[in-house]
């Protein structure tokens, strides 16, 4: 049987259309409570008959590093995408990590395409599109890769498809809506019907999870919507594997205001104004979600500063879960040292790290802050619509394609005794 090896991992050739879904910000409670309350009837059956597992995501528990880990099968140390945002040491500029030039490893898609597989990738937000589609051949008979956000602009040459809104019968939804993710599933189902690709990757946005707690009406409605589309994919004979890029937790105090440690203020106070530079890798253009407040930060220190001493002082502050010099933190979290500051700082479950109060625009926050980024958002679901044998393995979310292709295919199923 044909196998494809990418980044040192081998994948069996799909025998049925194989769909991996990254549900952005899907803390395990969302699905568990929705299933228990009857909002996800397909999922309830799927978990009974398939695999209901948990996995650890990449820290920083942010969107870009985890999506790239899922599609490369490796941690950021290998693929290089260490945040949504970073300080480029070559230019000294703070930039978004959405440029394929920053990728240090191929995704598994080009190797599959090379071997003859048809590929469909749909992401809610455009910030991920170029990274996910890097190295693919588009045009007639090529791969399909586009975002809901920019679906209207999709062309055959750049995205392998055009006329997406007509195909799906939906207008392009607002970037701040549940419908942006619904669009991903709706188009996924349409393309499963019309193209029946060998591999499909669907990646949603966490707009709903940033606003609505597990079990709330807003969350359950979102998961019920998803359930209907997943049932359709299952019905069409797809192998399904679902995971999340990160979890999500409430990050506010009793009065509903964000519970923030302003790290730049702390370091200015200790080492002098302008001596250090705090970078928040959660930063992205979609600030309405979170005001750039998450549970992970990195800081650049003056050469003369003892990073261990500062880390020790920070560790003593209430609300700091972890602070360490770069080398130790990058070893623990498998991150590229050249894309991290001298210090890595992680806050506790209900706290976030900011720079200075005046640098965070919180005007878009309509509800008490929910966010992610830390170790506290590391546990995510890993679910398949077929049983898989994972005995003795400690699973990561970036094992999703491994499970889907190597463990959940029809022929890898253990036949029950008659
Ligand atoms: Zn995310």
**Would you state the pLDDT for residue 291?**
84
Average pLDDT over residues 312-331: 98
373 CA to middle of ligand 1, Å? 9
Given 3.30.1360.110, 3.30.70.2190, 3.40.50.300, 3.30.465.10, which CATH number is that of 260-371?
A: 3.30.1360.110
**Sequence spans of domains, the chain:** 3-247+378-412, 260-371
**Residue 284's pLDDT band (boundaries 50, 70, 90)?**
confident
Q: For the domain made up of 3-247+378-412, give the CATH fold.
A: Alkaline Phosphatase, subunit A (3.40.720)
Name residues with Cβ closer than 5 Å to ligand 1, which is an ion. Answer: 24, 63, 206, 245
Q: Is pLDDT above 80 for 105?
A: yes
62 CA to middle of ligand 1, Å? 5
The pLDDT > 70 percentage for the chain reads: 98
205 CA to middle of ligand 1, Å? 6
**Residue 352's pLDDT band (boundaries 50, 70, 90)?**
very high
22 CA to middle of ligand 1, Å? 9
More confident residue, 173 or 377: 377
Q: Is pLDDT above 90 for 137?
A: yes
Bridge partners of residue 354, in order along the sequence: 262
**Residue 287's pLDDT band (boundaries 50, 70, 90)?**
low
180 CA to middle of ligand 1, Å? 14
Average pLDDT over residues 28-56: 98
11 CA to middle of ligand 1, Å? 26
Per-residue HEC secondary structure of the chain comes to CCEEEECCEEEECCCCCEEEEECCCCCHHHHHHHHHCCCCHHHHHHHHHCEEEEEECCCCCCHHHHHHHHHHCCCHHHHCCCCCEEEECCCCEEEECCCHHHCCCCCCHHHHHHCCCCEEEEECCHHHHHHHCCCCCCCCCCCEEEECCCHHHCCHHHHCCCCHHHHHCCCCCCCCCCHHHHHHHHHHHHHHHHCCCCEEEEECCCHHHHHCCCCCHHHHHHHHHHHHHHHHHHHCCCEEEEECCCCCEECECCCCCECEEEHHHHHHHHHCCCCCEEECCCCCCCHHHCCCCECEEEEECCCCCCHHHHHHHHHCCCCEEEEEEHHHHHHHHCCCHHHCCCEEEEECCCCEEECCHHHCCCCCCCCCCEECCCHHHCEEEEEECCCCCCCCCCCEHHHHHHHHHHHCCHHHCCCCCC
- Asked if the domains at 3-247+378-412 and 260-371 fall in one CATH topology, the answer is no
Average pLDDT over residues 294-303: 96
302 CA to middle of ligand 1, Å? 32
275 CA to middle of ligand 1, Å? 31
Q: What is the pLDDT of residues 184-242, one digit of tens each?
A: 999 999 999 999 999 999 999 999 999 999 999 999 999 999 999 999 999 999 999 99
Q: What is the pLDDT of residues 383-394, one digit of tens each?
A: 999 999 999 999
Residue 291, sorted as left (phi over 0), alpha (psi -120 to 50) or beta, turns out to be left
Rounded to an integer, what distance in angstroms lies between the CA atom of residue 163 and that of residue 407?
36
Half-sphere exposure of 355 (CA within 13 A, CB side): 19
Q: Is pLDDT above 60 for 417?
A: no
**Residue 366's pLDDT band (boundaries 50, 70, 90)?**
confident
**Would you state the pLDDT for residue 175?**
86
**Would you state the pLDDT for residue 318?**
97
414 CA to middle of ligand 1, Å? 34
Long-range contacts of 183-187 (CB under 8 A, 24+ apart): 183/124, 183/148, 183/151, 184/122, 184/123, 184/124, 184/148, 185/225, 185/226, 185/229, 185/230, 186/229, 187/122, 187/148, 187/151
Q: Is pLDDT above 50 for 311?
A: yes
411 CA to middle of ligand 1, Å? 33
**Would you state the pLDDT for residue 288?**
63
308 CA to middle of ligand 1, Å? 30
The reply to whether the predicted model has a pTM over 0.85 is yes
Round the average pLDDT of the chain to a whole number and report it: 95
Residue 96 phi/psi, 5° resolution? -70, 145
More confident residue, 84 or 58: 58
211 CA to middle of ligand 1, Å? 13
Rounded to an integer, what distance in angstroms lies between the CA atom of residue 162 and that of residue 179?
20
413 CA to middle of ligand 1, Å? 32
203 CA to middle of ligand 1, Å? 9
306 CA to middle of ligand 1, Å? 33
**Would you state the pLDDT for residue 296?**
97
**Residue 411's pLDDT band (boundaries 50, 70, 90)?**
confident
67 CA to middle of ligand 1, Å? 8
Residue 266 phi/psi, 5° resolution? -60, -45
131 CA to middle of ligand 1, Å? 15
398 CA to middle of ligand 1, Å? 14
Rounded to an integer, what distance in angstroms lies between the CA atom of residue 245 and that of residue 380?
8
25 CA to middle of ligand 1, Å? 5
270 CA to middle of ligand 1, Å? 33
Q: Is pLDDT above 60 for 76?
A: yes
Q: Is pLDDT above 70 for 418?
A: no
331 CA to middle of ligand 1, Å? 23
**Residue 32's pLDDT band (boundaries 50, 70, 90)?**
very high
């Amino acid at each position: 049987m044909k196998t494809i090896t990418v980044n040192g991992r081998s994948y069996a050739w799909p025998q049925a259309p194989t769909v991996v879904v990254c549900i952005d910000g899907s803390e395990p409670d969302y699905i568990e409570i929705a299933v228990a309350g009857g909002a996800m009837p397909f999922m309830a059956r799927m978990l009974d008959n398939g695999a209901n597992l948990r996995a650890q995501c990449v820290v920083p528990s942010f969107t870009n590093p985890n999506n790239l880990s899922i599609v490369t099968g490796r941690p950021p140390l290998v693929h290089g995408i260490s945040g949504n945002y970073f300080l480029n040491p070559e230019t000294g500029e703070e930039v978004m990590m959405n440029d394929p030039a920053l990728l240090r490893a191929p995704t598994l898609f080009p190797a599959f395409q090379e071997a003859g597989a048809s590929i469909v990738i749909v992401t809610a937000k455009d910030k991920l599109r170029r990274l996910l589609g890097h190295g693919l051949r588009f045009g007639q008979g090529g791969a399909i890769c586009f975002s809901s956000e920019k679906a209207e602009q999709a062309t055959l040459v750049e995205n392998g498809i055009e006329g997406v809104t007509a195909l799906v019968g939906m207008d392009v939804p607002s970037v701040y809506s549940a419908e942006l993710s619904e669009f991903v599933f709706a188009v996924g189902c349409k393309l499963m019907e019309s193209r029946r690709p060998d591999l499909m990757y669907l990646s949603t946005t966490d707009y709903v999870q940033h606003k609505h707690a597990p079990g709330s009406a807003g969350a359950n409605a979102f998961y019920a919507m998803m359930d209907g589309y997943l049932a359709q994919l299952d019905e069409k004979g797809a192998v399904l594997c679902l995971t999340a890029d990160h979890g999500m937790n409430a990050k506010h105090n009793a009065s509903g205001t964000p519970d923030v440690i302003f790290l730049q203020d702390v370091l200015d106070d200790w080492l002098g104004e302008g001596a250090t530079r705090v970078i928040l890798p959660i930063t992205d253009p979609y600030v309405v979600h979170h005001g750039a407040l998450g549970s992970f930060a990195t800081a650049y220190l003056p050469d003369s500063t003892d990073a261990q001493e500062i880390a020790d002082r920070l560790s003593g502050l209430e609300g700091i879960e972890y602070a360490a010099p770069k080398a130790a933190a990058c070893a623990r979290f498998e991150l590229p040292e050249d894309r991290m500051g001298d210090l890595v700082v992680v806050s506790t479950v209900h706290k976030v790290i900011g720079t200075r109060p005046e640098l965070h625009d919180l005007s878009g926050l309509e509800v008490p802050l929910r966010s992610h980024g830390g170790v506290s958002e590391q546990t995510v679901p890993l679910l398949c619509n077929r049983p898989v044998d994972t005995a003795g393995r400690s699973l990561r979310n970036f094992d999703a394609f491994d499970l889907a292709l190597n463990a959940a295919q029809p022929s890898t199923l253990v036949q029950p005794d008659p």
